[in-house]
Amino acid sequence: MATRAEAERARWPLLIGVAAFVFFADQMSKWWAVETLDTRIIDLVGSLRFRLALNHGAAFSLSQGRGPLISVLALVVVAILLRTGRQATRPLAAVALGMVVGGALGNLSDRAFREGEGLLGGGVVDFIDLQWWPIFNVADMGVVCGAILLVILSWREPEPADGDPGSDAGSDTGSTAGSGSAAGSGSGTDAGAESSPSRV
């Protein structure tokens, strides 16, 4: 049976893998948006459309002009999540943390490497436009969906610990005691039978 330390090590690659997938999907979708949507808008279904926009604020184009501050806060959050993720024992928790970390790093890379004012002041590429909701991107989806999953998991009761030595020991002790009593009772009966004089 795997120990807790082995379970934690097993979840760490899952977290990193999910984070890498979200980051890669976000960056590839942004590259496509910059190349394709620079001069046009693509209408899809209903109000959903693809429209290129640069966001210098927070997720969903909120808090415009505070990109550097938001970037610093995001770096702190990513560091905390990575530290927390090393202790994740449930696969869903590792997946949720990976989604948030990958999304946060996706937007941070835009702020660090795209054109903008000052350090970490680059514009984040947004292109998913519902027209009744602030425009967003794949990284925003990862952050929000991962956070929602973490909240759902926090409402669930923690999983029971693997194996309870005390319970096993108690069961074994009880079984041994019961066997001993039965054996003692049987031995006493046999002894009594042998010591009784036979009747003719």
- 184 vs 30, more confident: 30
**Strand 124-129's sheet: what is its strand order?**
42-43, 49-55, 124-129
Helix (H, G, I), strand (E, B) or coil at 147: helix
Other CB atoms within a 10 A radius of the CB of residue 61 amount to: 17
- Whether 194 maps to a domain, the answer reads no
- Whether 102 maps to a domain, the answer reads yes
- Whether 24 maps to a domain, the answer reads yes
Q: What is the mean pLDDT of residues 117-137?
A: 85
- Whether 165 maps to a domain, the answer reads no
- Whether 75 maps to a domain, the answer reads yes
- 181 vs 79, more confident: 79
CA distances from 170 to 1, 178, 183 (A): 20, 12, 19
| pLDDT of 16 | 92
- Whether 108 maps to a domain, the answer reads yes
Q: What is the mean pLDDT of residues 41-57?
A: 91
> Contact at 8 Å (CB) between 108 and 68?
no
CA distances from 51 to 20, 37, 55, 65, 179 (A): 25, 6, 12, 21, 77
- Whether 62 maps to a domain, the answer reads yes
Integer Cα distance of 150 and 92 in angstroms: 8
> Contact at 8 Å (CB) between 107 and 144?
no
- Active-site residues: which are they? 126, 140
Angle, CA of 27, 54 and 34, to the nearest 5°: 50
- Whether 160 maps to a domain, the answer reads no
pTM over 0.75: no
Number of domains in the chain: 1
Name 10's Cβ contacts closer than 8 Å, sequence gap at least 6: 2
Domain around 109: 18-155
Name 153's Cβ contacts closer than 8 Å, sequence gap at least 6: 90, 92, 93, 96
The yes-or-no verdict on residue 135 having pLDDT over 90 is: yes
Average pLDDT of every residue of the chain: 75
Strand partners, 125: 54
Helix (H, G, I), strand (E, B) or coil at 196: coil
The token pair that represents 13 in the structure block:
């690659």
